[in-house]
Chains A and B, each alone.
Chain A
Amino acid sequence: MFDVPEGTADRRAGSKISRRCIPITALTPELLISAASLEQAEKYIEAGATAILIGESRFGMRQPGEITSDQLKDVVAAVHRLGAKAYVNMNKLFRNDELAWIPEYLQLLKDAGADAIVFGDPAVLMNVRQYAPGLTMFWNAEMTGTNSSAASYWGRRGASRAVVARELNEEEIVDLKQKAAMEIQIQIHGMTNIYHSHRNLVQSYLEHLGREATLIRKGADKGLFLVEAERPDEKFPVYEDDNGTHVMSPDDICLLEALPELIQAGVNSLYVEPLLKSEPYNLAVLRSYRQALDLWGSNPERYRFDPKWLADIQKLQNPERELGFGFLYKEQVY
């Protein structure tokens, strides 16, 4: 085990799930983040990202900014020039009248040289089979990607990577990776989507109040929060866009201390969720994880957690949002 240095409070104290010891390997996973523009992608790569997720809301949900079809080629090329991978987000649930957009978009992605697409709706898979066979596909069904058999199911249908639910604990992630013969991506940092509706719940409510004229704000980062009566300290960001209403977690995942365990579990890609965060914050996050990964990569035997990595993030962390471990050490009931 890689304990935090003495004198540093272990943020994981009291967790219920035991942590495992696994043989050390020097494999270092990809560090992935979404980018809102070409310039931002370049900055993120410079800060340590090795893969960039891009997209637009017509095809992908909860992207930090729109990279339109005519920008795609340039962004992918820029990302490649800097030695990183470029993935395109097509993870939304499509309606009948949106399906016609898919073939052309896939063709564009192929031409642009995108390294993979991310999908959740089987309609995308159907289109890839027909219009872009051979295009690398990552399966991301958000909170419903919960076991290795389901991951393998999509694997046998062409997905090379499964993005697993953020609600899995570490034991489940380890087990899933061992059983599913494919790449595994987990989220290591940032907020998580905890509710998605095709209803326009903010607009509906403001109309109910008679306030829609003054308050309607479409898009992320409009400073809207939900506060539940019995949990006044927890602010749940909420926003509405063309894909509906999204409610986000009141705290941020930060799995820095757990990196060795996750690397040894064989996790292939570590996703930093930049949504509703400032660019400087996201850059600091990437730098910290990069340093940790590089240290691991140079010699896993001598890896020590450096509290400065966490401190650098905490300096920019919104004090109202706890940096926690999400569900990594939790046990859920049902």
Chain B
Amino acid sequence: MNQTLTQDAPRLKGKRNRLDKPELLAPAGSLEKLKFAVHYGADAVYIGGQKYGLRSNADNFSFEEMREGVQYAARYGAKVFVATNIYAHQEDLEGVAEYLKQLEDAGIAAIIAADPAIVETAQKYAPKLEVHLSTQQSTMNWQAVQFWKEEGLPRVVLARETTMNEIREMKARVDVELEVFIHGAMCSSVSGRCVLSNHFTDRDSNRGGCCQSCRWKYDLHADEQSVMEPGQNPFTMSSKDLCMIEHIPDLIDAGVDSFKIEGRMKSIHYVASVVNVYRQAIDAYMADPEGYHLRPEWVEDIGKAANRPLNTGFFYEVPGAGEHIYEAEEKPAPYDFAAVVTDYDEETGIATVQQRSPFRPGMEVEFFGPGGRQFIQQIADLTDEVGNPLTVARHPLQKVCLKTVHPVRPLDLMRKRLD
């Protein structure tokens, strides 16, 4: 273990061991997303490799990309974890030791595993890899946490059903790192305890084949007939997404060691926006807990990237009628990723940006960068790299130039409002 444990920082009530500062752990569905996640302030990222992960449709990493990701992250002092969180069937286990050794060689800091078969293989064959117990193991009491600690795991990712009070008690009783999901989509089942996909589509949800059947619409029948009346919404198991931005002090004081954001399938814009906000909130509270206050722009910025309504999951109460998505289908986020800043000329105030979705002069856009730098402006003149005027930035990845009203930096993002 390489973190420093501190006892009872003076400002904190109660006794606990914890990392000096909680880790902000972000999803990275691709090498490019990894770079943005780290640049925007993630202390660690988790990715999927070619095998054993639960996002078989994601743009998963090759070993070469992993090495590049590890090197990039290291420049920021950040770590890379790999999700190997399937429940394996016999056929999947062949080659798992070799795979884990390759992760170790690639400089991966930890794997996130649920299946004891993978946990044990990693401990035996890739001892430099930390093994973090996945949320798929549904760990929701302190004795189960204690069990996994005694099995040699330095970190447990708790079940999403765990409450804030339960986390406090776990932290008080067991000296092990606790990681909790603080943002993103959630299984509405106890994670791992759902095979709806297997039944509906022969796709194994515990091996990455989840087809999100919990978000489908169902008719609830009682006494052989539907309980729905005309105009009413059908039954669903679809959960609102988790968002804990308003409760950062609570999470830090409870002793949570790692704040995990869900979303390996989400966009760069999503990852950068969400990481940026939580980074600022964690830093602000750690720097000055007494003077800390929730900034409204954090909540707004999260809203700009969210495509589902948000709630606080099980942290404070069991999600009830208001916490499930009965009504409309999910909406696109109100803002879309438009461009990445690649260069900025301080003398002229002209930024060079790489297009990620079309935009044109007259459009209202928002630039933002790590640490909460952000401003809204209208696009005035748009030119190509050699100064020819453009009526629209039409082509993916094309570089265009525009004047910004405040300075920007490379890797700042430009988003456009969708109306």
Residues of A within 8 A of B (CB): 93-96, 98-99, 121-123, 125-127, 142-144, 146-150, 153-154, 165, 167-168, 172, 175-176, 179, 194-209, 211, 215, 217, 222-229, 231, 235-236, 238, 244-245, 247, 249-250, 327, 330-334
Interface stretch (choices B176-184, B271-279, B321-329): B321-329
Structural contact, B188 and A96, CB atoms closer than 8 A: no
Partner of B115, one of A93, A150, A217, A249: A150
Which secondary structure dominates where chain A touches chain B? mixed
Structural contact, A194 and B199, CB atoms closer than 8 A: yes
Partner of A229, one of B142, B209, B217, B233: B217
Structural contact, B117 and A196, CB atoms closer than 8 A: no
Chain A residues in 8 Å Cβ range of B119: 153
Structural contact, A205 and B190, CB atoms closer than 8 A: no
- The 30 listed contacts between A and B (C-beta, < 8 Å) are A93-B140, A121-B144, A123-B141, A126-B146, A143-B194, A144-B136, A147-B90, A148-B90, A149-B88, A149-B121, A150-B87, A179-B90, A194-B196, A194-B199, A195-B193, A196-B194, A199-B318, A200-B318, A203-B320, A203-B321, A204-B320, A205-B326, A207-B321, A208-B321, A208-B326, A209-B233, A217-B222, A225-B221, A236-B218, A334-B208
Chain B residues in 8 Å Cβ range of A207: 320-321
**Beta-carbon contacts under 8 Å, B264-321 to A:** 314, 318-321
**Beta-carbon contacts under 8 Å, B222-242 to A:** 222-224, 226-229, 232-237, 239
Structural contact, A122 and B144, CB atoms closer than 8 A: yes
Structural contact, B220 and A198, CB atoms closer than 8 A: no
Partner of A199, one of B116, B198, B319: B319
Structural contact, A195 and B195, CB atoms closer than 8 A: yes
List the 9 closest A-B pairs by CB distance, nearest first. A149-B117, A334-B209, A207-B321, A122-B147, A123-B143, A153-B116, A334-B207, A226-B218, A225-B221
Q: What separation, in Å, do the CA atoms of A238 and B196 have in the docked complex?
A: 13
Chain A residues in 8 Å Cβ range of B196: 194-195, 247
Structural contact, A122 and B148, CB atoms closer than 8 A: yes
Structural contact, B193 and A196, CB atoms closer than 8 A: yes
Q: Using A122-B148, A149-B116 as known contacts, say yes or no to A229 and B324 having CB atoms under 8 A apart.
A: no
Chain B residues in 8 Å Cβ range of A211: 227
Structural contact, A201 and B324, CB atoms closer than 8 A: yes
Q: Using A142-B193, A196-B194, A215-B227 as known contacts, say yes or no to A209 and B232 having CB atoms under 8 A apart.
A: yes
Structural contact, B143 and A127, CB atoms closer than 8 A: yes
Q: Using A150-B117, A226-B221, A235-B221 as known contacts, say yes or no to A195 and B237 having CB atoms under 8 A apart.
A: yes
Residue of B nearest to A126 (CB): B143
Structural contact, B220 and A205, CB atoms closer than 8 A: yes
Q: Assess whether B138 is interfacial by the CB under 8 Å rule.
A: yes
Partner of A123, one of B117, B144, B213, B233: B144
Q: Assess whether B214 is interfacial by the CB under 8 Å rule.
A: yes
Further pairs besides A127-B143, A228-B217, A228-B218: 11, Cβ < 8 Å: A93-B138, A146-B87, A197-B237, A199-B239, A201-B188, A201-B235, A201-B324, A205-B326, A209-B227, A209-B233, A332-B198
Chain B residues in 8 Å Cβ range of A229: 216-219, 234
Structural contact, B219 and A226, CB atoms closer than 8 A: yes
Structural contact, B161 and A198, CB atoms closer than 8 A: yes
Q: What separation, in Å, do the CA atoms of A226 and B119 have in the docked complex?
A: 37
Structural contact, B116 and A143, CB atoms closer than 8 A: no
Q: What separation, in Å, do the CA atoms of A191 and B209 have in the docked complex?
A: 22
Chain B residues in 8 Å Cβ range of A231: 200
Structural contact, B88 and A146, CB atoms closer than 8 A: yes
CB distance from B232 to the nearest CB of A (A): 6
Structural contact, B114 and A144, CB atoms closer than 8 A: yes
Partner of B147, one of A123, A199, A225, A249: A123
Structural contact, B189 and A195, CB atoms closer than 8 A: yes
Partner of A327, one of B198, B223, B323: B198
Q: What separation, in Å, do the CA atoms of A95 and B324 have in the docked complex?
A: 23
Q: What separation, in Å, do the CA atoms of A183 and B37 have in the docked complex?
A: 47
Chain B residues in 8 Å Cβ range of A99: 141-143
Q: Using A96-B142, A226-B220, A229-B216 as known contacts, say yes or no to A334 and B203 having CB atoms under 8 A apart.
A: yes
Q: Assess whether B126 is interfacial by the CB under 8 Å rule.
A: no
CB distance from B325 to the nearest CB of A (A): 10
CB distance from B388 to the nearest CB of A (A): 49
Chain A residues in 8 Å Cβ range of B169: 96
Interface membership of chain B positions 89-109, coded 1 if the CB is closer than 8 angstroms to chain A and 0 otherwise: 111110000000000000000
Partner of B141, one of A96, A144, A223: A96
Chain B residues in 8 Å Cβ range of A215: 222, 227
Structural contact, A227 and B221, CB atoms closer than 8 A: yes
Q: What separation, in Å, do the CA atoms of A177 and B142 have in the docked complex?
A: 32
Structural contact, B193 and A333, CB atoms closer than 8 A: no
Residue of B nearest to A250 (CB): B199
Q: What separation, in Å, do the CA atoms of A229 and B314 have in the docked complex?
A: 29
Q: Assess whether B202 is interfacial by the CB under 8 Å rule.
A: yes
Chain A residues in 8 Å Cβ range of B235: 201, 205, 226
Q: Assess whether B45 is interfacial by the CB under 8 Å rule.
A: no
CB distance from A158 to the nearest CB of B (A): 12
CB distance from A214 to the nearest CB of B (A): 9
Q: Using A196-B193, A227-B218 as known contacts, say yes or no to A147 and B321 having CB atoms under 8 A apart.
A: no
Chain A residues in 8 Å Cβ range of B204: 167, 332-334
Chain B residues in 8 Å Cβ range of A94: 140-141, 143-144
Structural contact, A125 and B147, CB atoms closer than 8 A: yes
Structural contact, A146 and B89, CB atoms closer than 8 A: yes
Chain A residues in 8 Å Cβ range of B198: 167, 194, 327, 332
CB distance from B302 to the nearest CB of A (A): 23
Structural contact, B324 and A208, CB atoms closer than 8 A: yes
Q: What separation, in Å, do the CA atoms of A167 and B89 have in the docked complex?
A: 10
Chain A residues in 8 Å Cβ range of B222: 215, 217, 222-224
Q: Assess whether B378 is interfacial by the CB under 8 Å rule.
A: no
CB distance from B174 to the nearest CB of A (A): 11
**Beta-carbon contacts under 8 Å, B149-178 to A:** 159, 161, 166, 169-170
Q: Assess whether B120 is interfacial by the CB under 8 Å rule.
A: yes
Q: Assess whether B206 is interfacial by the CB under 8 Å rule.
A: yes
